[in-house]
């Protein structure tokens, strides 16, 4: 009996300490997330370009028949006239090729490039971007993805912002469109983690060597792109936008990350397998050097995002059998749970604009995110193959 009481008291103490630490961590992260939201620069409502240099929009795509029509229509509607559109077909097997070829026949300054033989050391997307660049004649290059949709003034405003601020590289944060249950579950947790752990304010701080860009929108001077080694410098990277942004920052490129949710949107993966594979690809760079980092992060995420709600469920069960948690543990559990829901609400009601019901789904989203982190860690530890865009890559042969 005494041993049982001691075990219960020890468990109570350990859980209380974990919840106290997670509450402080959550409170600090919420404050940081609010600061990021307030301080990240935004594109002005209207900007004019006095001198209109040629902008080459480079769009690599592979099997994007569902997304391409929206992108192409938004490109056709751009109010900036001096641009060329380069659509790079990365060996699509669906109707993507036909969609882009039909579009190119109707729109001036648009060309379709078909990628054939990909060199061994290159990842599919980096080679497609390189092939697009070789056909580009613009003074500025805008790399984007096939699953985005632009407002009609985004090229004009972003180019003007870059020129007026004497930037060499400008990247915009997208508004993420979640069109499936799985995407709506995981995106609030992922977006929150991204904004807190990999804050755009760090990218914009010239004294911080941390950098990345969003592959869905990064605008760069052609001369700067060439001096950085083009996509050849990140040819084997599965997360080429992170790698290229990190390289640019290390080389002293004058770059900025600007809030772009009001200017363009990006569709997140819909199927469960695609959601997990997408998360694996994104988090792989964090666990590639040491997979144990991924395990440690997954445990921390479990304690912060999931454990409070498990204790709440346990408290309900204990109440039904005539037992109860200690007052301190119960209070800490409630505080931690409320903080998790507050963190989730920032993304659900803010950038993602989802139903408020998904605030309550935060622990399920946390479990999904933890699953992606653990599978990425497992594949990196055992050098398993990673699937992305219908291709498989050996994790020992690619960089992150």
Work out whether strand 83-89 and strand 148-150 pair parallel, antiparallel, or are unpaired: unpaired
Say if strands 148-150 and 264-267 run parallel, antiparallel, or are unpaired.
Answer: antiparallel
DSSP-assigned letter for residue 359: G
pTM metric for this prediction: 0.87
Answer yes or no: are the C-beta atoms of 389 and 287 closer than 8 Å.
no
The pLDDT, as a whole number, for residue 57 is 97
The confidence score (pLDDT) of residue 276 equals 76
What is the model's pLDDT at position 4? 64
Query: Could you give the C-alpha distances from 297 to 156, 304, 400, in angstroms and in order?
Result: 41, 10, 18
Q: DSSP E strands: which ranges in the chain? A: 55-61, 83-89, 110-114, 140-144, 148-150, 169-173, 175-177, 217-221, 255-259, 264-267, 385-388, 391-394
Query: Which residue(s) pair with 256 in the sheet?
Result: 170
Q: What is the pLDDT of residue 366?
A: 93
User: Mean pLDDT by 10-residue block, N- to C-terminus, for the chain (400 residues)?
Assistant: 67 89 95 94 78 94 92 94 94 92 92 87 89 95 95 93 94 92 92 92 93 94 96 88 93 95 87 78 66 85 92 81 80 94 95 94 92 81 61 52
Contact 253, 228 (CB under 8 A): yes
Three-state DSSP at 294 gives helix
**What CATH code would you report for 55-174+214-270?**
3.90.550.10
CB 324 within 8 A of CB 318: yes
Where are the chain's structural domains?
10-35+286-380, 55-174+214-270
Q: What is the pLDDT of residue 400?
A: 42
Q: Are strands 217-221 and 385-388 parallel, antiparallel or unpaired?
A: unpaired
Tokens of 396: 């020992």
- Give me the residues paired with residue 140 across strands: 55, 221
Question: Which strand (E) or helix (H) includes residue 172?
Answer: strand 169-173
The residues facing 220 across adjacent strands are: 141, 169
| Distance in angstroms (rounded) separating the CA atoms of residues 146 and 98 | 14
**Coil, strand, or helix at residue 95?**
coil
């Amino acid at each position: 009996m005494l041993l049982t009481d001691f075990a219960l008291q020890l468990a109570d103490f350990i859980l209380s300490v974990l919840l106290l630490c997670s509450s402080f961590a959550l409170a600090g992260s919420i404050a940081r997330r609010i600061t990021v939201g307030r301080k990240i620069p935004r594109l002005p409502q209207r900007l004019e370009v006095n001198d209109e240099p040629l902008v080459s929009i480079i769009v690599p795509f592979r099997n994007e028949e569902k997304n391409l029509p929206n992108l192409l229509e938004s490109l056709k509607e751009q109010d900036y006239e001096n641009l060329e559109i380069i659509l790079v077909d990365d060996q699509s097997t669906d109707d993507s090729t036909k969609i882009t070829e039909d579009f190119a026949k109707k729109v001036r300054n648009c060309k379709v490039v078909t990628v054939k033989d990909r060199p061994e050391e290159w990842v599919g997307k980096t080679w497609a971007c390189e092939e697009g660049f070789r056909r580009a004649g613009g003074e500025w290059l805008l790399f984007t993805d096939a699953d985005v949709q632009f407002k009609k003034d985004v090229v004009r405003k972003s180019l003007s912002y870059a020129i007026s601020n004497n930037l060499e590289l400008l990247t915009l944060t997208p508004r993420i469109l979640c069109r499936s249950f799985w995407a709506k579950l995981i995106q609030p947790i992922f977006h929150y983690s991204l904004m807190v752990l990999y804050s755009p304010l760090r990218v914009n701080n010239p004294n911080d060597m941390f950098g990345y860009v969003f592959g869905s929108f990064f605008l760069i001077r052609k001369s700067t792109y060439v001096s950085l080694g083009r996509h050849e410098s990140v040819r084997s990277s599965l997360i080429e936008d992170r790698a290229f942004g990190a390289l640019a920052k290390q080389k002293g490129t004058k770059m900025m990350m600007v809030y772009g949710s009001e200017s363009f949107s990006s569709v997140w993966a819909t199927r469960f397998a695609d959601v997990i594979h997408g998360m694996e690809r994104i988090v792989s760079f964090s666990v590639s050097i040491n997979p144990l980092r991924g395990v440690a992060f997954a445990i921390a995420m479990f304690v912060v995002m999931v454990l409070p709600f498990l204790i709440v469920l346990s408290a309900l069960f204990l109440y039904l059998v005539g037992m109860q948690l200690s007052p301190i543990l119960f209070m800490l559990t409630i505080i931690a749970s409320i903080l998790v829901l507050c963190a989730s609400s920032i993304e659900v009601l803010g950038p993602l604009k989802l139903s408020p019901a998904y605030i309550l789904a935060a622990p399920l989203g946390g479990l999904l995110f933890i699953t992606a982190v653990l599978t990425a860690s497992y594949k990196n530890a055992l050098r398993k193959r990673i699937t992305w865009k219908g291709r498989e890559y050996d994790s020992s042969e690619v960089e992150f």
